[in-house]
Structure 1
Amino acid sequence: MKMVFRWFGEGNDTVPLSYIKQIPGVEGIVWALHDLNPGEIWPIERILEVKQMAERHGFHLDVVESVNVHEDIKLGLPTRDQYIHNYIETIKNLAKVGVKVICYNFMPVFDWIRSDLFKELGDGSTALFYEKAKIEGISPDKLVSSFLENKEFSLPGWEPERLQRLTELFEAYENVSVGQLWDNLKYFLEHIIPVAEQHGIKMAIHPDDPPWPVFGLPRIITNRENIRTLLRLVNHPNNGLTFCTGSLGANPLNDLPGMIREFGDRIHFAHIRNLKRYENGDFIETSHRTGDGSVDVHEVVKAYHEIGFTGYARPDHGRHIWNEECRPGYGLYDRALGIMYLWGIWDTLVRMKEG
């Protein structure tokens, strides 16, 4: 297991690379050019700037998260071919600096969704929270109004210009069925996987978060059977997964250790985190410790150890602790604690195997 740490770039992240360097066992940063819009080609000059910053601290940049997929590709519009061409050019540029894995998602309109970014836990820390009734009880029209006027809902990384398109995007997806979304994903993969193979890059799709339809929009990477379908769309080793225990773990029916054992050779990137589920469908993110949430993180790490996982892993969303001011879910302290918890489990499993 190769431990990495997500970093949003100089001037865009409260955590400096010099601090990440002090976390034991972290080999690389997980990065992206966050100021570029989906569909833009990533310039090699900008990529080299990040490479130089990473190497000054002894980090590799093998994993990119994310090269976002333009909405026209997901919608299957005639303009998708140009955006797929641009995506391919970005793959080629990333290969020039040694990138090995590209994480991406195929979620319509939204990335991960929460109703509160700073919900207080019993110990006084705060964390990302999903209130099911609040999310399900709002129409697309009211959602757009809430974003543009009251900012009632909290989604990361949404620039004001894109929020203005929400109504247009909702209308566009009214005619896109689940089957059509699968077809559009297949079309995308059929074009990019041969290029990824040629340039030594593995594509790793991130599950939908949460793993069920929201706001009437289809979501398709949600469970074991859907992942089987994904891997059959283009049955190639370079078509694989970012296996996120937090996203998939929001659904109690998902057997995370069993899925790791089944899909292990196609898991190119692991996100490991915990959350506490409630009977009413709400969930809140917790520390990585197994006893603090509903995800058995020990069994998750054990499954990775059993399959001989040598891919990349990172702690995912952390709590906000010790009065740290940071990006929601992406502070230093709790993610560093999470890494040490994961290493503690891993090292114990190694010792037990050695006898």
Structure 2
Amino acid sequence: MNMTFRWYGRDNDTVKLEQVRQIPGVKGIVWALHHKPVGEIWEKDEIKSEINYINSFGFHAEVVESVNINEAIKLGNHDRDLYIQKYKQTIRNLGEFGVKVICYNFMPIFDWVRTDLYRLLPDGSTALFYEKNIVDSLDPQKLIQQYSTASNLTLPGWEPEKMEQIKELFAAYQDVTEEKMWENLKYFLHEILPVAEESGIKMAIHPDDPPWSIFGLPRIMTGRESMQRLLSISDSPSNGLTYCTGSLGVNPENDTVALAKEFALKSPFAHIRNVKLFENGDFIETSHLTSDGSIDIKGVMNELSKIKYEGYVRPDHGRHIWDENCRPGYGLYDRALGIMHLLGLWDAYQSVRQEGKTECTQSTNT
């Protein structure tokens, strides 16, 4: 298991790499060029500068999250081939500097959605919260206003240039069905996967968050059936998944332990976090401890341990604890705690298996 930490860059994150270096077991930084407009080529000098900075702290920079996809590709309109060519060049450029995994998503317009960025938990910490009734009834433009006033930092998938075109984007998606989205994803993958293979990069699609339609927009990466369908598009070794317990787990029909068992080997990247589900469809982020939420984190880590998972792992959204002023869901302290919990489970499971093998060997020898 290759433990990593997501970081938003020198100018767009409250967390410093000097601090991340003090978390035991972290090998790499998950990064992106967050200042780049969606769809534009990531130039070699920009990539080199960021990777050199990350490397200077002793971390690898082998995972990028995300190279966001221009809406023209998701819509399948007349501009998609232009943006696919740019995406291909970005893949080539990243491969030249040793990137191994690109995490991406295919969600229309929005990335992850929450209704409250700082919902109070019983222990006094705060966390990201999703209230189903609000999303079901709210004008998305009001939610955008709430996000923009809550934080002066750019949220993933909520780029300012995109928000300025919100009305036009909703109109463009009016006649786009889930099947049309699948067609457009298939077209995209058939174009880029050969380039990814040549560049030594695995593409790892992230589940939709949450994994159901919101604001009337189609969402297609939602659970086991969609994960199987994604993999059936191409048998390329570069066609893979990002296994995310939190995104998948907020739908109680998704068994995250079973999904780990079935899809871990097809997932070069894994996000491990816990959420607490409520019967009315609401959910809130919690600590990584299994008993604090609704996801069997212990079971997930056990499945990864069984196969000696060699992919990249990061803790996902954390709580805001100890009065930390940070990007919503992406502070230092709780994600550091999450890393230690995940590594503790990993070490324990690996130790038990190693002891079991030793006992078997000794028994055989005697």
TM range (shorter): over 0.9
Give 1:149 shift: 8.7
Of 150-159 and 101-110, deviating more is 150-159
Distance 2:143 2:264 in 1: 41
Distance 1:106 1:26 in 2: 28
Task: Show the counterpart of 1:322.
Answer: 322
Q: 1:277 to 1:153 in 2, by over 3 A?
A: farther
Q: Would the aligned equivalents of 2:224 and 2:254 in 1 still touch at CA under 8 Å?
A: yes
The within-5 A match list for 1:102-121 is: 102-121=102-121
The within-5 A match list for 1:51-70 is: 51-70=51-70
Identify the match of residue 147 of structure 1 among 144, 147, 158.
144
Distance 1:254 1:149 in 2: 30
Q: Would the aligned equivalents of 2:301 and 2:346 in 1 still touch at CA under 8 Å?
A: yes
Q: Which amino acid aligns with 1:147?
A: I
Give 1:162 shift: 2.0
Secondary structure in 2 aligned to 1:276?
A: strand
Q: Would the aligned equivalents of 1:285 and 1:319 in 2 still touch at CA under 8 Å?
A: yes
The within-5 A match list for 1:1-355 is: 1-138=1-138, 142-145=139-142, 147=144, 156-157=155-156, 158-355=158-355
Q: Unaligned regions of 5+ residues in structure 1, if any?
A: none
Q: Unaligned regions of 5+ residues in structure 2, if any?
A: 356-366
Q: Which amino acid aligns with 2:218?
A: P
Give 1:264 shift: 2.1
Distance 1:301 1:216 in 2: 35
Q: 1:165 to 1:303 in 2, by over 3 A?
A: same
Distance 1:345 1:126 in 2: 25
Secondary structure in 2 aligned to 1:103?
A: strand
Of 258-267 and 60-69, deviating more is 258-267
Distance 1:159 1:215 in 2: 18
Of 229-238 and 28-37, deviating more is 229-238
Q: Which amino acid aligns with 1:221?
A: M
Q: Would the aligned equivalents of 2:4 and 2:26 in 1 still touch at CA under 8 Å?
A: yes
**Runs of 4+ in structure 1 displaced over 3 angstroms?**
145-155
Secondary structure in 2 aligned to 1:26?
A: coil
Q: 1:127 to 1:84 in 2, by over 3 A?
A: same
Give 1:260 shift: 1.4
- TM-score, reference length from structure 2: 0.93
Q: 1:211 to 1:56 in 2, by over 3 A?
A: same
Give 1:151 shift: 5.9
Distance 2:211 2:65 in 1: 19
Q: Would the aligned equivalents of 1:146 and 1:152 in 2 still touch at CA under 8 Å?
A: no
Q: 1:153 to 1:24 in 2, by over 3 A?
A: closer
Q: Would the aligned equivalents of 1:42 and 1:90 in 2 still touch at CA under 8 Å?
A: yes
Give 1:148 shift: 5.1
Distance 2:4 2:196 in 1: 21
Give 1:308 shift: 2.1
Q: Which amino acid aligns with 1:72?
A: A
Q: Would the aligned equivalents of 1:116 and 1:153 in 2 still touch at CA under 8 Å?
A: no
Q: Would the aligned equivalents of 2:250 and 2:275 in 1 still touch at CA under 8 Å?
A: yes
Deviations 1:214-270 (A, max 9, x none): 000000000101110010011222100111000000001101111111112210100
Of 316-325 and 51-60, deviating more is 51-60
Q: Would the aligned equivalents of 2:243 and 2:264 in 1 still touch at CA under 8 Å?
A: no
Q: Would the aligned equivalents of 1:224 and 1:254 in 2 still touch at CA under 8 Å?
A: yes
Q: Which amino acid aligns with 2:27?
A: E
Distance 1:153 1:335 in 2: 21
Distance 2:143 2:293 in 1: 31
Q: 1:133 to 1:350 in 2, by over 3 A?
A: same
Task: Show the counterpart of 2:361.
Answer: none
Give 1:161 shift: 3.2
Give 1:78 shift: 1.3
Q: Would the aligned equivalents of 2:115 and 2:143 in 1 still touch at CA under 8 Å?
A: no
Q: 1:312 to 1:150 in 2, by over 3 A?
A: closer
Q: Which amino acid aligns with 1:351?
A: S
Q: 1:115 to 1:340 in 2, by over 3 A?
A: same
Matched residue pairs, number? 352
Deviations 1:162-183 (A, max 9, x none): 2121111111111111111000
Q: 1:248 to 1:22 in 2, by over 3 A?
A: same
Of 200-209 and 298-307, deviating more is 298-307
Give 1:312 shift: 0.2
